[in-house]
Amino acid sequence: MDDLVNRLTQQLAAAQAALHKSQARLGTVTKTLEARSQELVEARAAVSLLLATLDSTTDGVLALGHFGRAVHYNLSFIEMWRIPQDKLEALNEAALLAMQLAQVQDPEGFLAGVEARRAHPDREHAGEVHLTDGRVIEWRMRPQSVRGRRVGTVTCYRERKPSHTSLAPVRNIPR
- Using one digit for the tens of pLDDT, what is the confidence trace for 14-72? 888 888 888 888 888 888 888 888 888 888 887 788 777 777 788 999 988 877 677 88
Taking the CA of residue 98 as centre, how many other CA atoms within 13 Å lie in the half-sphere pointing to its CB?
A: 7
pLDDT score, position 120: 86
Q: Please, what is the angle between helix 93-101 and helix 107-119, to 10°?
A: 150
pLDDT score, position 170: 46
pTM here?
A: 0.67
| Predicted confidence (pLDDT) at residue 137 exceeds the cutoff of 80 | yes
- Using one digit for the tens of pLDDT, what is the confidence trace for 64-116? 887 767 788 899 999 999 998 888 887 788 888 999 999 999 999 999 988 88
3-class secondary-structure state, position 149: strand
Helices and strands per DSSP (H, E), number in the chain: 4, 5
Sheet of strand 149-160, all strands in order from the earlier edge strand to the far edge: 70-73, 60-65, 149-160, 136-146, 125-130
